Structure 1
Amino acid sequence: MLSYTVTFLIIALIAGALGFSGVAGASASIAHVCFVLFLILFLVSFISGRRPPAV
């Protein structure tokens, strides 16, 4: 998930530098959504923790 965020962020930076504002905006939005989703899933997994199997 985090790799998608970095990929879309790089695409947004390159597109912004080349003047493709539509592509840059869309890529930045996708990167933002992926990052927020990554943070939510990370916090859920951190809070739930790893539990030992039931015997």
Structure 2
Amino acid sequence: MIILGVVLLIIGLLAGIGILYTIGIILVVIGVLLWILGALGHAVGGRRHYY
């Protein structure tokens, strides 16, 4: 999810498409939050680890 967000950010910046840039930011933030929760040992979506 983090990688997809970064790719969308780059495409959004290069192509000048604001919606891709916004979606990329949202995906990066959600991915980082899930990664932190998984690293702390909290079950995320019924899974012990989130990769």
> What TM-score does the superposition give when structure 2 sets the normalisation length?
0.69
Which structure has more helix as a fraction of its residues?
Answer: 1
Of structures 1 and 2, the one scoring higher in RCO (CA 8 A, sep 6+) is 1
Aligned-residue CA RMSD (Å): 1.7
Q: TM-score, normalised by structure 1?
A: 0.65
Q: Alignment identity in percent?
A: 30
| CA radius of gyration, larger in | 1
Structure 1, unaligned stretches of length 5 or more?
17-23, 51-55
Moved over 4 A (4+): none
Structure 2: tracts of 5 or more residues without a match = 43-47
